[in-house]
Structure 1
Amino acid sequence: MIYAVWVPLLLPLLAPLLAVPVTRRGAEQLAPRAAAWALTALALVLALSSTAALALLALAGALRLPFVARLGHLSPSLLGGGSAASGAVAALAAAVALTVLGGLVLHRGRRHLRELRAARRQAAGSGPAAGDLCVRQDDRPDAYALPGRPGHPGRIVVTTGMLRALTAPEREVLFAHERAHLTGRHHLFLAAGELAGALHPALRGLRTPLAYALERWADESAAEATGDRALTARAIARAALAAHSAPSAPSADSADRDPRRPRMALSATAGAVPRRVTALLGAAAPAGPALRLLPRALACLLLTCAPLSPLAAVDAAADLHGAIEIAQGESPALPAHR
């Protein structure tokens, strides 16, 4: 366990150095849907494995404390290396880390739900609605997908400023893009990425490529719905230009962010718009054998570390279980050797 338990904690540290550059290239080559699923799965596996490793460290340290050993009828001397003092330090550090991470997850979850509820109330009373479309009276060009509650469909919120900035066909592209976010439940992918980033800070670096993959997924859905990739690219470019050139447009990370728009709301104007437009206009270009194999190679490289983390956590748990049986005077069938 001494070595295996650290693997799930250290692997996510490589994400900013290895996984993010790989996924940036993979997002260009892989199908956006596959890239989004792969990134979400990778983030969740690494985050949950690291959390399990912290729990194992806390338990292993606590078992070396005399009063805990007495409660479990253990012999601390048979648990392996380490003293009661080192066990107390390890248990305390791991418990503090788990408490802080748990508090961060709860805080972000509550903030997200609070923002969603406020945005739904604003959308319900801000202006006319037709089906899943809600028009908000605002000169600032903006549009985003607002997820609904269980049993209630989401809504597309668009401002009058954005409607004036686009032609009728371009508006249909924008609506198709935002509708793809709702039907694909892309907010759940973002929520999973936020959860992973809260459980292990190093995994926050995966949020940007994940958001990009989700926007590309919606771009492709809009292009398929309209049947015109050039129109889709032009509509996204014009919408982003209008949104970012507005004098009063606040940054998503700034203190003057529009309180009516949730932080995790997906929008066609977000992310690396030039790269998305280029991907739309160049997606029909023929690819050689090397380019066809590259996405698979990148996907394999991206997911290589995914099974290592949970396997290491399981191995550490098996080692700890064997050590507990030995400390209780039992003879495990398959004792772990290190």
Structure 2
Amino acid sequence: MIFAVWIPLLMPLLAVPAARRLAESLPPRAAAWLLTGCAVALAGCTTAALGLLLTAGALRLPPVAALGHLSLPLLGDDPALSVPAAGVAAGLLTACALAAAHRARRHHVELRTARLATGSHPATGDLCVLPDSAPDAYALPGRPGRVVVTAGMLRALPPDEREALFAHERAHLAGRHHLFLLTVALAAVCHPLLRSLRAPLAYALERWADESAASRVGDRRVTARAIGRAALAARPAAASPRPRTVLAATTGPVPRRVAALLAPEPAPAPPLRTAALARRLIATALLACVTFSAAAALDAAADLHEMVEVAQG
């Protein structure tokens, strides 16, 4: 167990770069699901490994061993290593739990504060207009979700681009994209390497909403102009305070997103053999990393269970 339990803690070193690379070659929706699923799987394996380290060390404490009717000489592993490792694992698990609770509470408080702040302003359907002169627009999730836009943003865009902007924000609400970001943020508190998945995930979610908006309005150029003009209008002025957890069309690498919308759609053609092969290799490597991490955690748990049975005679 002492060797297998460390594998889930080290596997993100390989899995995270592979997930980022694979997400670049996938459609936005698939990339968002891939990055989120990978973060959840790796965070779960990391938490399980820390829990196994904590349990293995705790069983060597005489009060715990007596409670479980365990014979200390029959327990495997070196106590000089397992007991300190258990102490470190306990500290890390406590820190992770506190950080996750703080992150979830902050997310809830920010959304509740934003909904209270926008609740006093007139709304037409899911559209809430703020009287602020600073251009801004964002998707505010909740029940019901709202597209919040300022009067300054409405003045900055012509009618067709306004519809594209609203379609973008409605795509965030319909896809519940804020939950993707929250899930990865909670997973990242379990392993610091998972934090690097947030930026590509945010980009994938914005591209997902861009494509949904372009499909809704039926014009990719209008959508691209709306995103670019909204970002330029929102940048010079200090927009009204918005929650850090919401998604907006004006955030992220806007020039890259606009270029993707304006790029001509490729004609149907068989994919390049080298590109397809590279994608398959990366996907295989990522699947192997996640599978190996989960298998190592299960193997360590089985070893711990066997050790307990032996120590109980």
Give yes or no for TM over 0.5.
yes
Q: CA deviation at 1:46?
A: 0.3
Equivalence for 1:327: 311
**Matching of residue 285 in structure 1 with residue 266 in structure 2:** yes
1:266-277 matched pairs, under 5 angstroms: 266-277=247-258
Q: Which residue among 84, 87, 94 is the counterpart of 1:99? A: 94
Matched letter for residue 176 of structure 1? A
Q: Secondary structure of 2:148's partner?
A: strand
Equivalence for 1:335: none
Distance of aligned partners of 1:239 and 1:298 in 2 relative to their CA distance in 1, 3 Å threshold: farther
Q: Secondary structure of 1:316's partner?
A: helix
**Matching of residue 153 in structure 1 with residue 160 in structure 2:** no
1:83-122 matched pairs, under 5 angstroms: 83=79, 85-122=80-117
**Matching of residue 315 in structure 1 with residue 309 in structure 2:** no
Equivalence for 2:29: 33
For residues 245-271 of structure 1, give each alpha carbon's deviation from its aligned partner in whole angstroms, at most 9, with x where no partner exists: 32x35xxxxxxxx5x411110011111
Q: Secondary structure of 1:245's partner?
A: coil
Q: Secondary structure of 1:30's partner?
A: coil
8 Å CA contact 1:138, 1:160 repeated in 2: yes
1:193-232 matched pairs, under 5 angstroms: 193-232=184-223
8 Å CA contact 1:57, 1:94 repeated in 2: yes
Distance of aligned partners of 1:6 and 1:283 in 2 relative to their CA distance in 1, 3 Å threshold: farther
Count of residues in correspondence between the two structures: 310
Distance of aligned partners of 1:39 and 1:137 in 2 relative to their CA distance in 1, 3 Å threshold: same
How far apart, in 2, do the equivalents of 1:226 and 1:297 lie? Answer: 37
Residue segments in structure 1 that go unaligned for 5+ positions in a row: 250-257, 330-338
Q: Which moved more, 1:102-111 or 1:70-79?
A: 70-79
Q: Which moved more, 1:319-328 or 1:38-47?
A: 319-328
8 Å CA contact 2:15, 2:289 repeated in 1: no
**Matching of residue 261 in structure 1 with residue 255 in structure 2:** no
Distance of aligned partners of 1:228 and 1:136 in 2 relative to their CA distance in 1, 3 Å threshold: same
1:28-67 matched pairs, under 5 angstroms: 29-67=25-63
8 Å CA contact 2:39, 2:187 repeated in 1: yes
Equivalence for 1:336: none
Q: CA deviation at 1:295?
A: 5.0
Q: Secondary structure of 2:235's partner?
A: helix
Q: Secondary structure of 2:305's partner?
A: helix
Q: Secondary structure of 1:267's partner?
A: coil
For residues 202-249 of structure 1, give each alpha carbon's deviation from its aligned partner in whole angstroms, at most 9, with x where no partner exists: 100000001111101000100100111111111111111111132x35
8 Å CA contact 2:14, 2:289 repeated in 1: no
How far apart, in 2, do the equivalents of 1:300 and 1:140 lie? Answer: 48
Q: CA RMSD in A?
A: 1.8
Q: CA deviation at 1:17?
A: 4.7
How far apart, in 1, do the equivalents of 2:254 and 2:286 lie? Answer: 24
**Matching of residue 13 in structure 1 with residue 13 in structure 2:** yes
8 Å CA contact 1:30, 1:295 repeated in 2: no
Residue segments in structure 2 that go unaligned for 5+ positions in a row: none
8 Å CA contact 1:44, 1:196 repeated in 2: yes
Equivalence for 1:80: 76
Equivalence for 2:67: 71
Matched letter for residue 289 of structure 1? P
Equivalence for 1:123: 118
Equivalence for 1:132: 126
Q: CA deviation at 1:86?
A: 3.7
Q: Which residue among 107, 119, 144 is the counterpart of 2:138? A: 144
**Matching of residue 305 in structure 1 with residue 299 in structure 2:** no
Normalising by the residue count of structure 2, what TM-score does the alignment of the two structures yield? 0.93
Q: CA deviation at 1:278?
A: 1.3
Q: Secondary structure of 2:11's partner?
A: helix
How far apart, in 2, do the equivalents of 1:295 and 1:144 lie? Answer: 34
How far apart, in 2, do the equivalents of 1:136 and 1:300 lie? Answer: 49
Equivalence for 1:162: 153
8 Å CA contact 1:65, 1:87 repeated in 2: no
Q: CA deviation at 1:164?
A: 1.0
How far apart, in 2, do the equivalents of 1:295 and 1:175 lie? Answer: 34
